[in-house]
Each structure stands twice: as C-alpha cells, then as structure tokens.
Amino acid sequence: MCVRYTLTAEEKQVLKENPYQMTGPYEPDANIAPTDFGFIVTSDEPDLIQRMHFGIIPHDAKTNKLTYDTWNIRSEEVMEKRTYKPLMIHRKTCLIIMDSFYEWQKVDGESLPYRFTVPGRKTFCVAGLWSRWIDPMGENYDTFGMMTCVANNLVGEIHEKKRMPVILHKIDEKNWLNKKLSVDELLALCVPFPDKWMHRYRVSKKVNKVSTKLNPNKGIELTLPLDFDEEAIKPVLPAEPKVKKPKVPKAPPPPDLPDLFS
C-alpha cells in the first residue's frame, strides 16, 4: 500500500496547476509519511489548499495517535468500514496534491523503493477522504487518507499486493469534490490510472528510513534515480573556473655591448 509520497514542487507551481488559495505555510517534502503534513483540497472548502496530517483519526477517537493503517482506504471496501462509511455518506472527500509516490519491491529479503510520476503534470491529485478530530482543548486536528484501487501493470509489477493510489484525471478532480454525486458515482472514479501516462524508476534505499524531528529524512536527493551501479546520482555541480595565470612579458634582450677583449 502507498505509505510514502512527495510534493517537491515550488509553491507557484502547485498553485499554477491547482488554482486554489493556499492557507498556511507551504514547504516542499520529498518523503511524506503517516502523521506528516500533506496539502489537501476538501469538498467542504473546494477553493482552499489546507494542511492536514496523513492518516485518518476518527472523530470519536480518544487520542490523535494512529493505532492502525488509516492512510490507505480500499475503495472496494470503503462502505463496509465503520471508520470510512460515514465519511463517504457525508461526502468528506478531498484531493491529495502530490508529484509522486513511492512503492517497494521485495527482492531477496530487501525492500527496493521505486518512485512513480505522471510525466507532463508537475503535480497530480489522488482521491482521498478526510476527518476532523477535536482535542480536549477544543482545537481541530484534521487528517486524511488516500483511496486505493487495483494496480495497473506498471505499479503491480513492483507492489506485491497489486494496489495503487487512485490518481484522478484532471477532468475528474472537481467531480470527486462534488457533494451532489452519489456514492456509487464517486466510487466509479476509483479505477487504475493508465500505465502509458505514468513513469517509474528506482531510487535510493535512503528513502526507507523513517524521518524524525531529530533526524529528518526529507532531502530532494531521495527523488533522484539510481545509476546501474546502484548508487544515487549526485547533483552535477558546476566546475570551478580555471584561473589563467597572467602572462609575464618577457624581458627584452640586453643591448649589444662592445667586446672589451677584442
């Protein structure tokens, strides 16, 4: 299931492709994991981009600690789950803005990460649900999870459970936020995104490391592809300019002197 994704675009690029109003501070992130902030557009406020925590906390939870996987929501089972069914009924849908997601391939006991992008779109949106938990002090704590569906071949070749996030076509983003659509109409949008419009490549296993406040793991280098030697490609730095030594003019030859011994 999708447990990590990225939003590394600059704010102006995010707003260009998602013409909404940004609320709060924006900061790119190359390794968004559960409990981290993501950037969301909700059906309740479809003109705003808001920050929310990744991983749904049910409104009736006793604490805001994640106790089980609520960051991925199987679209085929959403109406069978106590946590998600009320969110669908009340149309608590949202768009999750990202520019890629990671999935891992199991090879000889190792987890090898791949990055998946949508070429031609600097950002794209995944269908999601969101929920509001209110803490004992009366403060809102908003969270979200992403809808998943059966994987296309590009993702399924890597993901052992054959699942992928529900990537929405641009024309369907507004539909996912449309409160007038029925649940069946909304769920009809939860289908695999076409392989031909996606791309994947291996990235460093450094992305596997969980990020903490004391040891952040958010650098843009996590998104770089690997070369054939399985080493991360390093950014190409401009070569230092060669300093030319100044030319020292040659001293003129000494004038001809008379031969004193002639």
pLDDT tens-place string over residues 171-219: 999 999 999 999 999 999 999 999 999 999 999 999 998 888 888 899 9
Pairing mode, strands 100-107 and 48-54: unpaired
How many degrees, rounded to 5, is the angle at CA 121 between CA 207 and CA 166?
70
pLDDT digits (tens, 9 = 90+) for 10-31: 999 999 999 999 998 999 999 9
Q: For the whole model, what pTM was predicted?
A: 0.85
- Could you list the beta-strand ranges (E) of the chain: 4-7, 21-22, 29-32, 37-42, 48-54, 72-74, 93-98, 100-107, 110-117, 124-134, 140-150, 163-165, 199-202
Q: Specify the length of the chain in residues.
A: 262
At residue 51, does pLDDT exceed 70?
yes
CB-CB contact of 131 with 42 (8 Å): no
Q: Is 185 helix (H, G, I), strand (E, B) or coil?
A: helix
Please give the structure tokens belonging to residue 233: 């490609």
Alpha helices in the chain (DSSP H): 11-17, 85-89, 153-156, 173-176, 183-187
Instruction: Return the biggest CA–CA distance within the chain.
Output: 120
